Amino acid sequence: MRLYNTLTRQEEPFAPTAANTVRMYACGPTVYARAHIGNFRTFTCVDVLRRTLKYVCGHDMRMAVNYTDVDDKTINGAIKAQESLRAYTDRWIAAFRTDSDALGIELPEETPRATDEANLQAMGQLIADLARNGHTYERDGSIYFKISSLPEYGRLARLDHSGMRDGARVDVDEYTKDDPRDFVLWKASKPGEPTWDVGAGPGRPGWHLECSAMALRLLGEPPIDIHAGGIDLIFPHHENEIAQSEGATNKPFARFWVHIDHLFVENEKMSKSLGNVYTLEEIVARGYRPSALRYLLLSSHYRKQMNFTWAGMDQAEESLRRIVDFLARLETVTVEGSVPAIVELVDGARTAFRAAMESDLNTAAALAAIFDLVRDVNAAIDARAIGKADAAQVAALIDELDRVLGVVSLRRAEDATPPVPVAEIEQLIEDRKAARARRDFAAADRIRTELADRGVLLEDGPSGTRWKKK
Ligand code: AMP
Ligand code: ZN
């Protein structure tokens, strides 16, 4: 497997340090609102990386994706909603899990919350270790990281040291690009804000500290193998995570840094003022299925910016449907026996798919390998140059490759819970067949339209009528 490492700005061969287990951390959502499709581009690409490491490279995973459940945004949101921070963030965590499941994102081994007691304790310990190593100072009850105490500071983001302002402090979690300042590790209590005391005085953690503490607590001896997130996190968040972790442990924090580039909508940055911040719910409300969105999100390379358009959604739906229809067509092959050329096609497609994924997750090339197979096997079906056993092998290969992509299995899961109960759909198909048999085409059309209005499409083919979700 070759993976681009932001730390070295190069593609490098990747293998885990500890036996066969990949220890990976990805920064999770800040749980103050429904995650948008940009967030889900990152989480879907992280999921594809996880699945590639598991199903292509054969590694075991030990992966943590956190919930940031205490920061400026969550605290303000809870105050506005007049709820406790815990109750407020519980709701957004549940919403995130619902959307992640709908998008076929595998549940990581660990999903820590920053405010879990063990994590807060780990943050207290991290601050104590940093203090012991001379990297901290206190001002007005808050504890800061002194970046001039760590000569390596800025290595990930490639910052210019001459721009570092000694003693200039920043309290907010995010700050201007290329303006490195001493950042806050622990913020002194403010009236109305939740407060903990884990040895650094009454207050609450800074966002950067949370991730370092959870990664070090849950994933074992540093360096961990991979740390991932969206590209906007390189600075200051990941730079500061490195400073905290390395300042405390005197060991490298993560070997590989993987960053997913941003999703834009119709060529614009998503923003509330432009009204283009879409959630999965909104995509579904427009008649699209989560499986089509997953397909779209993984179809372009994760290191390139991606432009979301509704036309792109239509194309994703069409492409996914081509694969699903092809799988249905394979079932119509009834000729006994096997044709050697098909076995070769299957082997070739597997090799091309795996090579593409092992080349820094080239999902576009991996999908192209699948569509080459679809085209060639369709031609073989037309020419009756394929046997039943071959067709089964082709279908098995697509299932195998879909363990990485997770789109066909997701569509099947969606179909298994259709908007109309299956028994009712089947009864209506029978009623329609009977109506046609007595040449009552108006009644037959009514049934079709009624089902379409309820989200179920009927398709008449040589082997009878099939239904699918709209
Ligand atoms: P947040 O909930 O804001 O902490 O973000 C969760 C993840 O989504 C982080 O890894 C961000 O870098 C990522 N992210 C935020 N906006 C976008 C976007 N427009 N495209 C892709 N990823 C994004
Ligand atoms: Zn983080």
Q: Is 219 in the pocket of ligand 1 (CB under 6 A)?
A: no
Indicate which residue's Cα is closest to atom 19 of ligand 1.
38
Ligand 1 closest atom vs CA 41: 21
Residue 95: band (very low, low, confident or very high) from pLDDT cuts 50, 70, 90: very high
More confident residue, 61 or 423: 61
Q: Name the average pLDDT for the chain.
A: 95
Indicate which residue's Cα is closest to atom 15 of ligand 1.
39
Ligand 1 closest atom vs CA 232: 12
Ligand nearest, relative to CA of residue 30 = 1
Residue 161: band (very low, low, confident or very high) from pLDDT cuts 50, 70, 90: confident
Model confidence at 419: pLDDT above 90: no
Ligand 1 centroid distance, CA of 47 (Å) = 14
Ligand 2 centroid distance, CA of 340 (Å) = 51
Ligand 1 closest atom vs CA 39: 8
Model confidence at 104: pLDDT above 80: yes
For the stretch 191-230, pLDDT in tens is 989 999 999 999 999 999 999 999 999 999 999 999 999 9
Model confidence at 422: pLDDT above 90: no
Ligand 2 centroid distance, CA of 64 (Å) = 11
Domain locations in the chain as residue ranges = 2-260, 272-415, 422-469
The pLDDT assigned to 459 comes to 86
Q: Is 211 in the pocket of ligand 1 (CB under 6 A)?
A: no
Ligand 1 closest atom vs CA 30: 2
Ligand 1 closest atom vs CA 263: 20
Q: Is 223 in the pocket of ligand 1 (CB under 6 A)?
A: no
Indicate which residue's Cα is closest to atom 12 of ligand 1.
230
For the stretch 426-470, pLDDT in tens is 899 999 999 999 999 999 999 999 999 888 889 887 767 888 777
Ligand nearest, relative to CA of residue 268 = 1
Instruction: Let me know if the fold of 2-260 is the same as that of 272-415.
Output: no
Q: Is 100 in the pocket of ligand 1 (CB under 6 A)?
A: no
Ligand 1 closest atom vs CA 26: 10
Ligand nearest, relative to CA of residue 234 = 1
Q: Is 32 in the pocket of ligand 1 (CB under 6 A)?
A: no
The pLDDT assigned to 110 comes to 98
Q: Is 42 in the pocket of ligand 1 (CB under 6 A)?
A: yes
Query: Which of these CATH numbers, 3.40.50.300, 3.40.605.10, 3.40.50.1820, 3.40.50.620, describes 2-260?
Result: 3.40.50.620
Q: What's the per-residue H, E or C state across the chain?
A: CEEEECCCCEEEECCCCCCCEEEEEECCCECCCCCEHHHHHHHHHHHHHHHHHHHHCCCEEEEEECEECCCHHHHHHHHHHCCCHHHHHHHHHHHHHHHHHHCCCCCCCECCECCCHHHHHHHHHHHHHHHHCCCEEEECCEEEECHHHCCCCCCCCCCCHHHCCCCCEECCCCCCCCCCCEEEEEEECCCCCCCECCCCCCEEECHHHHHHHHHHHHHCCCCEEEEEEEHHHHHHHHHHHHHHHHHHHCCCCEEEEEEECCEEECCECCCHHHCCCCEHHHHHHCCCCHHHHHHHHHHCCCCCCEEECHHHHHHHHHHHHHHHHHHHHHCCCCCCCCCHHHHHHHHHHHHHHHHHHHECCCHHHHHHHHHHHHHHHHHHHHCCCCCHHHHHHHHHHHHHHHHHHCCHHHHHHHHHCCCCCHHHHHHHHHHHHHHHHCCCHHHHHHHHHHHHHCCEEEEEECCEEEEEEC
The pLDDT assigned to 166 comes to 79
Rounded to two decimals, the pTM is 0.91
Q: Is 270 in the pocket of ligand 1 (CB under 6 A)?
A: yes
The CATH fold of domain 272-415: Isoleucyl-tRNA Synthetase; Domain 1 (1.10.730)
Ligand 1 centroid distance, CA of 215 (Å) = 19
The pLDDT assigned to 167 comes to 84
Ligand 1 closest atom vs CA 264: 19
Ligand 2 centroid distance, CA of 239 (Å) = 10
Q: Is 232 in the pocket of ligand 1 (CB under 6 A)?
A: yes
